[in-house]
Amino acid sequence: MISLTSISNLHSNELMKRGIAMNITIIGAGYVGLVTGACFAELGMNVLCMDVDKQKVKKLEKGIIPIYEPGLDELIQKNTPDRLIFTTNLNEAVQFSDVIFIAVNTPTLENNISDLSHVFKAAEEIALCMKGYKVIVNKSTVPVFTGQRVKAIIKGILQEQGKDIPFDVVSNPEFLQEGSAVNNFLQPDRIVIGFESIHALDVMRNIYSSQILRGVPLVATNIETSEMIKYASNAFLATKISFINEISNLCEGCGADVSVVAYAMGLDDRIGAKFLKSGPGYGGSCLPKDTKALLGIGKNIGYSPRLIKSVIEVNTAQKKLACKKIKNAVKRLKKRTITLLGLSFKPETDDIRESPAIDIIKYLVNSKAMVKVFDPKASENMKKLYSEFQIEYCSDPYSACDKSDCIVLVTEWKDFMELDFRRLKQIVRTPVFIDLRNVYEPDHIKKSGFQYEGIGRR
């Protein structure tokens, strides 16, 4: 095996020419940092992932993966420690490689302003440790002009320290979806690179050479355009969801079936079938945060994006609609037992950030209902992040439905696709089924003796 540190001072292009695997540093070992690190290692690069969270790094060093993401565990086990290592030591991380990806969290604050403190902190620390040329790559989702601000921070610190070290800043937004992140990363729809120096673009081309050779389109543009592509993409996805949710509310009022409407719409290539599933509103760590951040970006430049504002409003209302449906179905919530199937914001992830389940649980608990829940992977995160919730965590869907007055399917996990309604009918107190993902055929459930409520159909 090549010693990871002995080659760290060689220039990336030089390494590629000599056929030596490149070194890559990733700052932030969260959903994006870990997937990026594991996939680059899988593609043959030497990767060091650095995180400030000591517990997380300790776990990773022991082979314990802190998140559930299909395929990630195997990739990390396979590549650690030969091509993938973890550290909390920033100086070690900076010296390890001349390409440093920043993949830290960028939450949106109450006033729609993106909290860039983690990105700027990472930039400052990189500058303080720099001894030679670096390409600093922003993989975090960041508002337009952040690349320039990162550049100014690094330049300022280097000047203060009297160091004359060249560096480049690049924007390389990430488009992976949780639940299919590994596949999305290895086979992306496109690679976007915002750059100022041709040399930095060459370095990035080398890093993504295997995907580019397989025909993945590369969009090379300026940093500001690259930063905007990320927000525009997420906002468009959010718009499709809010659009179909709006249509679904219209369908509900006039006896139409939104699933059929969406199917027929999606057959038109110009519209496309994806992201037209109505439900309890979009959640997750990004669509809610990035649509709000776009309002903040607009405010900074004196423009109010009206469409995005409506998209957010429709989504907020949609989350409330789920609560209203439960209330209407059971009439009185106090002391009624309500079962939630699914806690994560979507299937195949343990991520509960902005999950519709959180709003529903808050509403039910405030209404003095008794809440029983089951999720195949996300219960631990809910227990940890919402320890104040007085709810019962169950070990399988049927124990969660025992003596229930209303079953609510919140997340469309595979585990909930083939529920045995005969068995459910025998164990529930009141046979009411609210299908927030339109997974089941209404007539089939009604025939099993249940009252059925879907979204945008009867």
234 binds, among ligand UGA, ligand NAD, none (CB under 5 to 8 A by kind): ligand UGA
**Closest CB to ligand NAD: residue number:** 30
Out of 283, 342, 376, 431, the only residue in the binding site for ligand UGA (CB under 6 A) is: 283
**Closest CB to ligand UGA: residue number:** 286
The CB-based long-range contact list for 417-423 (8 Å cut-off, 24+ gap) reads: 421/445, 421/448, 421/449, 421/450, 422/448, 423/398
Kindly state the smallest distance separating residue 202's Cβ from ligand UGA, in Å. Answer: 25
Examine the residue annotation and report whether 286 is marked as an active-site residue of this protein. yes
Out of 15, 32, 338, 361, the only residue in the binding site for ligand NAD (CB under 6 A) is: 32
Q: Is 177 in the site for ligand UGA (CB under 6 A)?
A: yes
Kindly state the smallest distance separating residue 244's Cβ from ligand UGA, in Å. Answer: 7
In whole angstroms, give the CA distance from residue 385 to residue 163: 44
Kindly state the smallest distance separating residue 6's Cβ from ligand UGA, in Å. Answer: 36
Q: Is 287 in the site for ligand UGA (CB under 6 A)?
A: yes
Residues 6+ apart with CB under 8 A from 286: 141, 234
Kindly state the smallest distance separating residue 219's Cβ from ligand NAD, in Å. Answer: 16
In whole angstroms, give the CA distance from residue 122 to residue 104: 8
Out of 120, 145, 175, 393, the only residue in the binding site for ligand UGA (CB under 6 A) is: 175
Q: Dihedral of the CA atoms 322, 324, 327, 329 (nearest 10)?
A: -70
50 binds, among ligand NAD, ligand UGA, none (CB under 5 to 8 A by kind): ligand NAD
Determine the angle formed by the axes of helices 72-79 and 31-42, rounding to 10 degrees. 50
How far, in Å, are 21, 127, 331, 405 from residue 452 at the CA level?
57, 59, 15, 13
Out of 7, 29, 84, 116, the only residue in the binding site for ligand NAD (CB under 6 A) is: 29
Site for ligand NAD in 142-181 (CB under 6 A): 174, 176, 178
Token digits of residue 40? 């680059």
Q: Is 28 in the site for ligand UGA (CB under 6 A)?
A: no
Identity (one letter) of the amino acid at 340?
L
Task: State yes or no: cis peptide before 431, omega within 30 of 0.
Answer: no
Q: Is 87 in the site for ligand NAD (CB under 6 A)?
A: no
Q: Which of 39, 286, 323, 406 is catalytic?
A: 286
Beta bridge partners of 46: 23
- Which CB atom, from 283 or from 456, has the smaller least distance to ligand UGA? 283
Residues 6+ apart with CB under 8 A from 198: none
Q: Is 455 in the site for ligand UGA (CB under 6 A)?
A: no
Q: Is 346 in the site for ligand UGA (CB under 6 A)?
A: yes
- Which CB atom, from 147 or from 456, has the smaller least distance to ligand UGA? 456
Out of 11, 59, 121, 327, the only residue in the binding site for ligand NAD (CB under 6 A) is: 121
Residues forming contacts to ligand NAD in the complex (CB under 6 A) are 27-33, 50-53, 56, 103-106, 118, 121-122, 140-141, 174, 176, 178, 285-286
Residues forming contacts to ligand UGA in the complex (CB under 6 A) are 141, 174-178, 234, 237, 241, 275-277, 279, 282-287, 345-346
Residues assigned a catalytic role: 286
